Amino acid sequence: MLQESLLSITRVQETHSQNEANELLEKGWKLINIYTGSFSVDYDDHVNIYVLGKPDEPVNI
């Protein structure tokens, strides 16, 4: 993602839920990053973490 497009982000949220990530994307949030996280050393405990940003709402004057 271009750095300029990150300037309008006013809120950041992480989720491991694909459904929640998709719901936020449908509401206009932007996908910033995806990484793999783990809760233990067991390989089966690895999950994808979605990092999403909410752009600032345009102000109508």
> Tens digit of pLDDT for each residue in 44-54?
778 899 999 99
Q: pLDDT tens-digit profile of 1-53? A: 456 677 889 999 999 999 999 999 999 999 999 999 887 777 677 889 999 99
Please check whether residue 36 is in contact with residue 49, taking contact to mean a CB–CB distance below 8 angstroms: yes
Q: Which secondary-structure segment (H or E) carries 10?
A: strand 9-15
Residue carrying structure tokens 């999950």: 47
Round to whole Å and give the CA distance between 34 and 38: 13
- Cβ neighbours, 10 Å, residue 21: 21
pTM: 0.78
Q: How confident is the model at residue 57 (pLDDT cuts 50, 70, 90)?
A: confident
CA distance 32 to 11: 11
